[in-house]
Structure formats: structure tokens, C-alpha cells
Amino acid sequence: MKKISLSLLAFLCFLGTKAQFTTPDTGVNWTMQDLLNTTASPLTFNGTSYTLTEDLIISENDSFTFDAADSLYVNQDVLIQVYGSFNSNPSSGEMVITATDSLTPYEGFRFENDSQISINNTVIKNGGGLRVLTPNFSLTNSYLAYNVIGAATGAVVSVSYGSPIIENNTFLENDLPAVASGANQEVSVIINGNYLEGNGQSNQNRPQINMGPSGIDTLKITQNTIIGDPTLDLVGGIAVANLTGGEIRSIIDNNTITNNRYGITVVGGNSFAYIRNNVIENNDTQGAPNLGGSGISLNSSSNTQEVVATNNEIRGNLWGITVIGEASVNLGDNEDNPGGNVFANNGNSGNTYALYNNTPNTITALHNCWIEGQANTLADAESVIFHQADDNSLGEVLYDPVGCESLAVNEQEFEQISFYPNPVQQQLFINNEQLLEEVRIVDLTGKEVFSKTLQEGQNQLEISLASGIYLLQFKKENAIKTEKLIVE
């Protein structure tokens, strides 16, 4: 009996041991060809693509490089874990890393503390995300789509501390948010120039960018396009929260945020944020004004939150800006903040709310356009601001002077851009009555694939592009308007 039990135990231990390959920690840089040629290789090659069949561990003194436009298929539940260095940067084209079977995702990537990670021009699909435990992390010009919960449980890219760089990438229809950090982690990540659409497919109460405290350095979320999936009623745009006694220093500038549950929220005290030059439109997917739907929402239980908001365009949300608890915002003054925020059609239950001051604090909000498209009067401003005049327990909003005329001209011109057909095959026509200077077509990795100087009147563009989704960027002086283009 004892003999049988020991045999059974040994068999069970064997079943519980997961196959893996660990580099020998000898200071060598490995490539896929090196890995393929090694004894007991976890890699196979069929003449056109590679398949990773076991966990791959890169030891502390070793490095691994993808330097060519290859395809790596990864088997179900297989993990790539890096203690040393990892570099994916093909000299031309894209490196593709995806699941062997899209229905059985691989575990993803785990980048350990102090590892050195650089990922560029790389496609990462159908895996368990990137858990980033190192500050030495750069992700640029890459495409991340259809990833699920695995190595990373908070986001496709889950960052932990320091100042990682996430720039000019596309995040498309992943189960989790695109980028996130933990509530008790201090991360001053740079998130710049990315295209996010339809992330959060699991429809949890998490925004597409979901950040905790920044620490003493500055969190920067700039020049991103963040488009929601209208069928997801819990997913917001951008959240920055201090819930554990840390500190927030953040810059949220020049983003376009549309079709989410809400646009931007800053939560918690001991926090400072610039929110400038953002276009925040139609963030109302939940349709429940008591639960969300603000273009910008500011919430703090202490009077140690300070936000400066300038030149934002806030349209079509259930609320324009909501200020809650003891939060504070400067929407324009006669000193350092010129105001310039534009509001249009933010409301619910038959009422329009450009600004709702649900705090006892006085808010300065000078030089803003409270009703876009017309010359504003003080009565116009009062009609869309909820404050002390409506409930004497609330703080006053100081909004005199108001102004609109010069603010809406560029946007109105941009709204009149006519281009067709869309979807397009080879010929695209642009009717340029606004004296636009140039049009660029970029793919979803941010790479320019076409550009042309525009003439006044009708322009005909001959394009030859692979089928897919692209972005049209129209330029006039210092302004850029981005539209989606589908190529068949």
C-alpha cells in the first residue's frame, strides 16, 4: 500500500510540474534562431513561423532580442518571463506575437523588477497581457488587441512603479483597460499619442486608462484618442485616483475622449492636475446621470485637490463638469488660466448642465463659452451652471466675464470637412473649402502611410493601402482634426 501511495504521489507531482526553458544566465543575447538551435528547445519552426511550446524564462544576466519581422505563436497558458533584458524591435516590418489558437490564449508576459524592456513595432494579440514590475519599460509604435486576463489582471499593460513610456500604440478591444496601475503603487507613466478603442470588453467598472497615485513625479496622459464601445455601459475614459494616502501630480492634455461612460475623472485629495485642450464628447453610454456621464468629474473628501482646466471642448455628455465633495477646480481667472473651455449640449432629464458645483467651495470660471455657437450673456451662463444661486448650501461659481465668439471658429470649420467615399478603395475625394493645408493618413500604430498638400476646392487622392482602419489627419495652422477612414 505504501508503495502504491508513493507512486501515486510521484505521478501527481509530475503532473503539477509545468514545462519551462530557462536561459543559463551567462550574459548571452539570445535570438529565436539561437533558441531554436539549443538542446531541449521550447521552440519549433515550420518554415514560415515559430511556435513557443513551453514557458520561457530570460535570466537576470541574459537578454532576448526579436530583430526581424517574424511571427511567434504561443501555446495555451505559456508565459514569457524576463529577469534580464527583452528587446523587440524589427529592423523593418512588424514582429507578431499571438496565440497558437485565438480561442486558447497564452499567459502573456511578466517583466520582473529591474529588467530592461524595449518593445517597438510589435503586434501582441490573444494573450494575457503585460505585467510590468520594472520602471525600465518602453512600449512604442505597437498594436495590442484581443488580449484577456492572464499575467496581467488590471490592464493589458499593468505598470507598477517609476516612469515607463507607452507611446504611439494602438489598443483595440482588449478584455481589460489598456493601461493601469495599482491603487497603492506610485507610477508616473508617460502615456502619449496612443489610439484606444473598445477596451474593457469584460465591461467592468474600469476606464480605458486607470491610474493610481503618481508619487512626486508627474503622470502624463497626452495626445491620446480614446473611443469607447457604446455597448459597454461601465467603461470610462480616463481615471486618476488617490485612494490610499499617496499623491497625484498629473497632466491630462490634448486627448480626444468619446463614447465612454464618462470622460475624465480625478478622485481623492493630495492631488494636482492640469486638464487642458481635451475634446470630450458623448460620454453617456450608461445613460444613468446619478452614476456617471460627466465630461469631467472631480471628487475629493478633503480640500487638498486642485485642478486647473483650460481650453477643453465638452459636448454631449450627461454632465459637463461635476465638482463633488471638497474638490476644487480653476476654470479660468484673470491671472494664469485664460479659461477658454467650451460647453455644448451636456444634460439629462431635460436640463442642461455645463457645470455642477456640488461643493461648498467657490469656483472661479472666467472667460468660458457656456453655450457654444452663440454670443453668450451672463444669463446664458447662469442657465447652465448649478451652484449657490440654485441651492444656498453650495458654493458660488464666478463666471463673469464670459466669451464665445473666437472659440468656436476653428471647430466649426473642421466640422464642415467633406471627404468621401468612406469606406474607400483607391480614390478618396476631399472638398477643401476651409483652406486646409495638408492631409495625412496614419495606420493604427501611428505610422504615416500617406500625406498630401491640399489645394482649395476638390482634391482627389489616389491611395493604395491594405484593408483596415486608418486615421485621416487634417491640418490647418496649429490645429489638427482626426477622422476614421476604412479602407476596403
Q: Give the tens place of pLDDT for each residue, 344-363.
A: 999 999 999 999 999 999 99
**Residue 137: band (very low, low, confident or very high) from pLDDT cuts 50, 70, 90:** very high
pTM for the whole structure: 0.83
Instruction: Round to whole Å and give the CA distance between 336 and 330.
Output: 10
Peptide bond into 105 cis (omega under 30): no
Write the DSSP symbol of residue 162. Answer: B
Q: Is the pLDDT of residue 74 over 80?
A: yes
| Residue 161: alpha-carbon gap to chain centroid | 18
- Residue identified by cell 543575447 is 29
Instruction: Round to whole Å and give the CA distance between 299 and 308.
Output: 14
Q: Give the tens place of pLDDT for each residue, 238-285.
A: 999 999 889 999 999 999 999 999 999 999 999 999 999 999 999 999
Please tell me the total number of residues recorded for the chain in this structure: 488
- The CA–CA distances, whole Å, from 319 to 151, 281, 376 equal 37, 11, 19
Coil, helix or strand for 17? Answer: coil
- Please name the CATH architecture into which domain 416-487 falls: Sandwich (2.60)
- Residue 3 backbone dihedrals phi, psi, to 5 degrees: -65, -45
Short-list 389, 479, 380, 391, CA closest to 438: 479
Q: pLDDT over 90 for what percent of the chain? A: 80
What does the pLDDT read at residue 447?
74
Write the single-letter amino acid at 438.
E
384, three cell numbers = 447652465
Q: Is the separation of the CB atoms in 158 and 134 below 8 Å?
A: no
The rounded mean pLDDT for the chain is 92
What does the pLDDT read at residue 17?
57
Instruction: Round to whole Å and give the CA distance between 336 and 125.
Output: 45
Coil, helix or strand for 9? Answer: helix
Q: How many CA atoms does the CB half-sphere of 461 hold within 13 Å?
A: 27
343, three cell numbers = 460647453
Write the single-letter amino acid at 254.
N
Coil, helix or strand for 319? Answer: strand
| Residue 467: alpha-carbon gap to chain centroid | 24
391, three cell numbers = 441651492
224, three cell numbers = 491620446
What is the gyration radius of the CA atoms in the chain, in angstroms? 25
Q: Domain ranges in the chain?
A: 262-407, 416-487
Q: Give the tens place of pLDDT for each residue, 377-425.
A: 999 999 999 999 999 999 999 999 998 854 444 455 566 688 989 888 9
What does the pLDDT read at residue 486?
86
